[in-house]
Amino acid sequence: MLKLQCKQVFDSFNLDVDISINDFNVLGVFGPSGSGKSSLLHAIAGLNSARSVYINNKNITHLAPDKRALTLQLQSCPLFPHLNVLGNLQFTQKHCKNKSTTLTLERVSALLNLEPLLNRDVSGLSGGEQQRVIFGRTLLSGQSVILLDEPFSALDWHTRFNMLSAVQELNKQHAIKFIIVSHSLKELLFCSDTLLHIVKGKVLAEGNAQQVANAIYASNNQTPLSVLNYSNQQFDENFQVYKLTLNNSNQSLYVAPEHIKKNQKLIVESAQITCSKAKPSATSDCNVLIGVFEHAKLINNQYQLTITVDTQLIYCTASKRQWQQNEVNKGELLYVSINNLETN
């Protein structure tokens, strides 16, 4: 549970937040730069004043920052330059008291793939490597609530998704709750179950991550990302790809190992998706799904199509010409081709 009341005046906006979220595992905070996302984290952490702050049914409003049983990882959070990577991690593990998790250095290093970095000087790390080490150090503080401010912005998407998968794994296995600030909806959709949308210090929406994200896309006349959940995966030795069975479905997709994540979720952009009434003949059947057409909406001179594939929603676009030549009625079957999943 998170309950927060906060009013603050800044040069460019006033932060005026009054939220109460009954339950969350990973809470994403989305908004443009300068909207108050970081200030919100600072208020929760006790670095900024707030009228009231409750976390996990506990009133922490008047507690000092180091008594709040949480850790805030700032955007700028430098490592100790006189210690190597292992030394930085050991320092945190040794000196952080009142821990509520049992994470070990070995467990964190394996989860974040830090073993190859342990004996390196921090001055020689890339920006992405530094972010992974800083995240490892944050986890070793041993707190049950972790606040992350743009934690993986320097990472490529493949590594970023691995870190976000680690976030979900830590939540499930160690009951750590995360509040993550990001300006990337793609990132937050991948890992968050609850989403908070803040603009110029005002909370515009809160709730189910997919629903809030879709509302944001609609308000900006953008096509939403498709989030596909799968329940089973089998490795094909012959083709070196995974066969994924979608949730609540007998339909499958074949994807490269790079796309497999522990949270069993695929994020697919509309540019990767095409649909047709007739079964495609020029592409392999392995990444063609059968869906039911729901509706179309004209946005920015093209149509946004919403298709249901066995309870999961897929979004794609079609030009005016394509739509007028192949107009579909609600409830009709469509073949949905998803590209660029079998390659890295």
Q: What is the CA radius of gyration of the chain?
A: 22
Given phi > 0 = left and psi -120 to 50 = alpha, else beta, which region is 96?
beta
232, two tokens: 């089973």
Number of other CB atoms surrounding residue 159 within 10 Å: 17
What's phi and psi for 15, nearest 5 deg?
A: -85, 115
pLDDT in single tens digits along all 344 residues of the chain: 888 888 888 888 888 888 899 889 999 999 998 899 999 999 999 998 888 889 888 899 899 988 898 999 998 889 999 999 999 999 999 988 888 898 999 999 999 999 999 999 999 999 999 999 999 999 999 999 999 999 999 999 989 999 999 999 999 999 999 999 999 999 999 999 999 999 999 999 999 999 999 999 999 999 999 999 998 899 999 989 999 999 999 999 999 998 888 888 999 999 999 999 988 876 555 699 999 999 999 998 899 999 999 999 999 999 999 888 888 999 999 999 999 898 76
Please give, one letter per residue, the 3-state secondary structure of the chain: CEEEEEEEECCCCEEEEEEEECCCCEEEEECCCCCCHHHHHHHHHCCCCCCEEEECCEECCCCCHHHCCEEEECCCCCCCCCCEHHHHHHHHHHHCCCCCCCCCHHHHHHHCCCHHHCCCEHHHCCHHHHHHHHHHHHHCCCCCEEEEECCCCCCCHHHHHHHHHHHHHHHHHHCCEEEEEECCHHHHHHHCCEEEEEECCEEEEEEEHHHHHHHHHHHCCCCCCEEEEEEEEEEECCCCEEEEEECCCCCEEEECHHHCCCCCEEEECHHHEEEECCCCCCCCHHHEEEEEEEEEEEECCEEEEEEEECCEEEEEEEEHHHHHHCCCCCCCEEEEEECCCCCC
275, two tokens: 């649909």
* Structural domains in the chain, sorted by start: 2-220 (3.40.50.300), 259-338 (2.40.50.100)
pLDDT of residue 1: 82
Amino acid at 23: D
Number of other CB atoms surrounding residue 263 within 10 Å: 18
pLDDT of residue 52: 86
228, two tokens: 């596909």
**pTM of the full structure:** 0.90
